[in-house]
Amino acid sequence: MSKRILIAVAIVIVIIALVIAVPKISPSGQGATNTPTEMRIEFTKEEMKRVSFGVTESIGAEKSETLTIMDDGTAFYNVNVQGEKASQTKFRADAQELKRIKALIAETGFMQIPKEQFDAKDNVTEFTRYTLTATLGSSTKTIQWVDEESSKDSVPALLARLKDSLIELIKNHQ
């Protein structure tokens, strides 16, 4: 009788382990992701200049580049240079690029970064400012930061990786 109980307990343990493990394993044998299927990304890179007028100061963009990536891989790249006509390019990001960028945003903690703005030091007059708005499913997160050398605070390395990946995507489609 005790052997039957031990066998039954062993079978129950194996079944519980399978119930827990199977949903976490994808067909490729790697861990499944909780990445939402719907995604929209808007990334802006601005060349900023701070001008002081005695008591007041003004900060403005000399050049602005915006990349918008839709869920289906359709992307729009806009360039605005102060005093010139704006230009727009439409292209399609390939599935691998899209998957890599989506994973960087959805699976690395981007949506949980607590700080939403990393400002420039007060004494810096020219700097690059980045803004990334990611919508995954029903969640949207916007973070704005400046280049590491100009920042008052330490900018998370994840933001630098995302910036580099998105700039690389732009370069590949120009």
pTM of this prediction exceeds 0.85: no
Distance CA 126, CA 24 (A): 48
Where helices occur in the chain by DSSP H, the ranges are 2-21, 95-106, 157-172
Tokens, residue 140: 């949207």
Give the model confidence (pLDDT) of 11-32 as tens digits. 767 676 655 654 444 333 344 4
Question: Which superfamily, per CATH, for 39-172?
Answer: Mago nashi (3.30.1560.10)
Domain ranges for the chain = 1-32, 39-172
Has residue 55 got a pLDDT over 80? no
